[in-house]
């Protein structure tokens, strides 16, 4: 069994077992509302020494050169001053000056070394200054976050891509009191800036344009679909803070997310193929092992392709999870060498993107023959007209190789490419951007056998021709 992994399939394998008693049903492309803000702050370069060590050096530089006078000036315990002076001796910042009269050696005046004088001069040059810092304010969490500004997109882009727009915790503009100096300092440290320190946030200005941060929402449900839980993945990691914020906003119900019972898997007509079929649990285990090696969470050599269950006399016959379907579709669009046949009731722009059309045309230019059939009921109300138009235009440019057909009605969801046949309940061309936010598990069967797939290919080409409108 070969293994290909999209971002979603890797997320599924990584997080599908994190909720005991619940099943990961779907992964939704989502958008976190953010505000692009500029914070006017008072900041200074972070001082290289703790405060007591700094004061000792500054006092010696100013002519306060005995331990007793330093202790009296600072008003701290003699033990603390003694230890601090000892530390400075160890770091070659202090030494003793020449003895004067009968003064005991330990009471000789302190003197800065060359290194200590340089450190004291640097400390004296550090003064607060006004700065303007660009920040990203997470409006669901109500605080600034270290998001990559290059990842931020417009709200209009999110809506065009049918991303699930997560709610903001409030609609009021961001104020200076909403952004703290400690939060900004934490962001600076995350970015590797350890020298700068913000002392005070003076004011915050917010850009008018609405922006969002792309994220993923993982939807879990129990067996009877009565308990629906959400998790949020930001930058490939689970964010408990966002999950709790969504719960405060009403969770799945407030977002209109519903989970219906699992779709019935189409069974194969040949009982021998059904008996040879490797079940989903075993396929998932194999993919988890392979993904762990790819992600570097397992030692090289842990997964051995030869250890997987060998193909039956019918070739490879195995289950396909809901999360693997997009990977197989992409494999067809990027690797098919001879043929692609695809049947899907609906065609939507969230799947038939510019990238999809580009990949499909690349196959056509390589002399791959393509059949795509769609249609459900009497009209195309479940499809997007512009997506149908793009596919029809592409078919018109390659009439000898591309057949794009509207059939009377089809419940079949079929993908065939080269020697692979997948029969499933998965909607190949409309699986993203579910309009009513109702999700269910979709399972299919993959058969990799040249003779069997040849027969199925001829069968479906004939069915498309018979049922065309």
Q: Which two tokens stand for residue 463?
A: 């069915």
Q: Which two tokens stand for residue 62?
A: 């100013």
- The whole-number average pLDDT for the span 344-361 is 93
What pLDDT sits at residue 308?
Answer: 52
Query: Partners of 339 in the beta sheet?
Result: 369
Reported as a single tens digit per residue, the pLDDT across 358-381 is: 999 999 999 999 999 999 877 777
Reported as a single tens digit per residue, the pLDDT across 386-402 is: 999 999 999 999 999 99
What pLDDT sits at residue 464?
Answer: 92
DSSP state at residue 429: T
353 with 429: CB under 8 angstroms? no
Reported as a single tens digit per residue, the pLDDT across 74-101 is: 898 989 999 999 999 999 999 988 876 6
Per DSSP bridges, beta strands 153-154 and 211-221 are antiparallel
Closest by Cα among 296, 153, 294, 136 to 215: 153
What pLDDT sits at residue 50?
Answer: 81
**For 408, left (φ over 0), alpha (ψ -120 to 50), or beta?**
alpha
Give the domains, in start order, of the chain with CATH numbers.
29-43+129-255 (no CATH), 48-124 (1.10.10.10), 260-467 (3.30.870.10)
Reported as a single tens digit per residue, the pLDDT across 188-198 is: 888 888 778 89
What pLDDT sits at residue 315?
Answer: 85
Q: SS3 sequence, 146-184?
A: CCCHHHCEEHHHHHHCCCEECCCCCCCCCCHHHCCHHHH
Closest by Cα among 320, 323, 321, 404 to 360: 404
Q: What's the pLDDT band for 106 if we cut at 50, 70, 90?
A: low
Q: Taking the CA atoms of 368, 426, 15 and 234 in sequence, report the sign of the dihedral they define.
A: positive
Average pLDDT in the chain: 89
Q: Which two tokens stand for residue 420?
A: 């692979």
Size of the chain, expressed as the number of residues it contains? 469
Reported as a single tens digit per residue, the pLDDT across 406-462 is: 998 778 899 999 999 999 999 999 887 666 678 888 899 999 999 999 999 999 999
Residues with Cβ within 8 Å of residue 422, at least 6 apart in sequence: 320, 325, 328, 414, 415, 416, 444, 445, 446, 447
What pLDDT sits at residue 435?
Answer: 63
Reported as a single tens digit per residue, the pLDDT across 299-339 is: 544 445 545 555 667 789 999 999 999 999 999 999 999 99
Helix, strand, coil tally for the chain in percent (to 5):
35, 25, 35
| C-alpha span between 178 and 170 (Å, rounded) | 12
| pTM of the predicted model as reported, rounded to 2 decimal places | 0.78
Which is more confidently placed, 124 or 146? 146
Closest by Cα among 188, 191, 259 to 224: 259
User: C-alpha dihedral over 114, 116, 120, 126, to 10 degrees?
Assistant: 100
CA distances from 437 to 8, 259, 433, 442 (A): 18, 8, 8, 15
């Amino acid at each position: 069994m070969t293994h290909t992994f999209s971002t979603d399939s890797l997320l599924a394998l990584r997080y599908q077992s994190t909720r005991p008693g619940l099943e990961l049903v779907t992964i939704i492309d989502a958008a976190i509302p953010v505000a692009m803000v500029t914070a006017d702050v008072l900041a200074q370069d972070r001082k290289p020494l703790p405060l007591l060590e700094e004061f000792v050096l500054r006092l010696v530089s100013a002519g306060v050169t005995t331990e007793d006078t330093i202790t009296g000036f600072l008003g701290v315990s003699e033990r603390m001053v003694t230890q601090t002076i000892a530390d400075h001796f160890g770091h070659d910042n202090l030494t003793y000056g020449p003895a004067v009269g009968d003064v005991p050696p330990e009471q000789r005046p302190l003197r800065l070394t060359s290194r200590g004088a340089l450190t004291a001069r640097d400390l004296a040059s550090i003064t607060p200054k006004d700065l303007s810092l660009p920040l990203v304010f997470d409006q669901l969490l109500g605080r600034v976050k270290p998001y990559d500004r290059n990842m931020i997109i417009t709200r209009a882009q999110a809506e065009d891509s049918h991303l699930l727009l997560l709610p903001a915790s409030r609609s009021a503009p961001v104020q200076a009191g909403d952004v703290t100096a400690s939060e900004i300092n934490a962001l600076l440290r995350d970015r590797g800036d350890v020298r700068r320190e913000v002392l005070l946030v003076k004011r915050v200005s917010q850009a008018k344009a609405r922006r969002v941060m792309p994220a993923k929402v993982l939807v879990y449900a129990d067996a009877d679909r009565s308990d629906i839980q959400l998790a949020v993945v930001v930058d490939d990691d689970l964010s408990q803070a966002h999950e709790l914020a969504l719960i405060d906003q009403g969770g799945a119900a407030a977002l209109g997310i519903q989970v219906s019972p699992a779709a019935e898997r189409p069974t194969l007509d040949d009982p021998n193929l059904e008996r040879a079929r490797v079940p989903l649990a075993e396929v998932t285990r194999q993919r988890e092992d392979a993904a762990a090696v790819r992600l570097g969470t397992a030692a090289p050599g842990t997964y051995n392709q030869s250890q997987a269950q060998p193909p039956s006399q019918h070739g490879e016959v195995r289950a396909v999870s809901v999360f693997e379907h997009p990977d197989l579709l992409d494999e067809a669009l990027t690797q098919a060498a001879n043929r692609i046949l695809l049947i899907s009731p609906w065609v939507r722009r969230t799947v038939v993107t510019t990238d999809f059309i580009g990949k499909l045309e690349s196959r056509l230019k390589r002399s791959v023959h393509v059949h795509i059939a769609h249609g459900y009921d009497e009209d195309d109300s479940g499809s997007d007209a512009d997506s149908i138009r793009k596919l029809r235009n592409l078919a018109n440019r390659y009439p000898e190789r591309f057949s794009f057909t509207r059939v009377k009605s089809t419940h079949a969801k079929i993908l065939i490419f080269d020697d692979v046949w997948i029969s499933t309940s998965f909607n190949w061309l409309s699986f993203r951007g579910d309009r009513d936010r109702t999700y269910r598990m979709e399972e299919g069967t993959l058969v990799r056998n040249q003779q069997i797939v040849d027969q199925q290919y001829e069968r479906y080409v004939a069915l498309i021709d018979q049922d065309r409108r």
